Structure formats: C-alpha cells, structure tokens
C-alpha cells in the first residue's frame, strides 16, 4: 500500500504582491478561470491574503480580453484606451447599459 505523498517545501511567488510562500500556503490561480481543467497547465499562485482580497464573482471573458490586449506589456493609458474600446465594441458602451435601467 502506498503511503501519503510527501510534498516538499516548494516555494512559489504570489503574482499579486510578490511574496514568496510555501506552496502549501498558497492558492492556485488560473488566468482563464478554469482551475479544474488541469491538462497541460502550469498554475500561477496567490498568497492566502491576496486570494482573500480577490473578487470571486464570475469574470465572464475578462481574462481572455486582458490576454488579447497584452495587459501588463503597455503603458497604463494605452492599455485602458484599448480595453475600453474593445469592451465598447463587443458589449456596448456603459452609457447604453445605463439607459436600459
């Protein structure tokens, strides 16, 4: 009979705050929002404090949009301009949604 697997004290880095923590003290983060489909994936990690601070509501395509416009690789003003234009194009402007209320 096999005994329980003994995991080493592997250290991971929190993608939000940069803190190095033991893997056992971290939470997996899948930028595509599907951490249950594990085939061929390498997960990023969050420390427990940063994980608690996340909004756990459905993100409905948010991560895909961020990847599509290369979030984190452009100046903030350029990124926000692209992001707003893409959201308006795909989902309509915020003012359109406010009129519907």
Q: Are 45 and 13 in contact (CB under 8 A)?
A: yes
For residue 3, the model assigns a pLDDT of: 43
Q: For 71-97, how does the pLDDT look when each residue is reduced to its tens digit (9 = 90+)?
A: 889 899 999 998 899 889 988 887 765
Which H helix or E strand runs over 62?
helix 62-68
Q: Are 17 and 26 in contact (CB under 8 A)?
A: no
Neighbours of 9 (CB within 10 A): 8
Q: For 2-44, how does the pLDDT look when each residue is reduced to its tens digit (9 = 90+)?
A: 444 455 569 999 999 999 999 999 998 877 666 677 777 788 8
For residue 33, the model assigns a pLDDT of: 66
Question: The domain containing residue 73 runs over which residues?
Answer: 62-100
Neighbours of 51 (CB within 10 A): 16
Question: Can you read off the two tokens belonging to residue 52?
Answer: 């608690």
- pTM of this prediction exceeds 0.75: no
Q: For 40-62, how does the pLDDT look when each residue is reduced to its tens digit (9 = 90+)?
A: 778 889 999 999 888 766 667 88
Give a yes or no: residue 88 inside a domain. yes
Residue 47 and residue 16 in one domain: yes
Residue 18 and residue 48 in one domain: yes
């Amino acid at each position: 009979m096999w005994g329980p697997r003994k995991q080493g004290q592997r250290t991971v880095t929190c993608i939000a705050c940069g803190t190095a923590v033991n893997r056992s003290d971290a939470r997996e983060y899948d930028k595509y929002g599907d951490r249950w489909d594990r085939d061929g994936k390498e997960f990023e990690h969050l420390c427990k404090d940063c994980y608690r601070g996340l909004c756990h509501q459905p993100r409905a395509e948010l991560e895909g949009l961020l990847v599509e416009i290369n979030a984190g690789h452009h100046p903030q003003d350029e990124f926000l301009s692209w992001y707003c234009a893409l959201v308006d194009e795909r989902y309509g402007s915020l003012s359109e949604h406010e009129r519907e209320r």
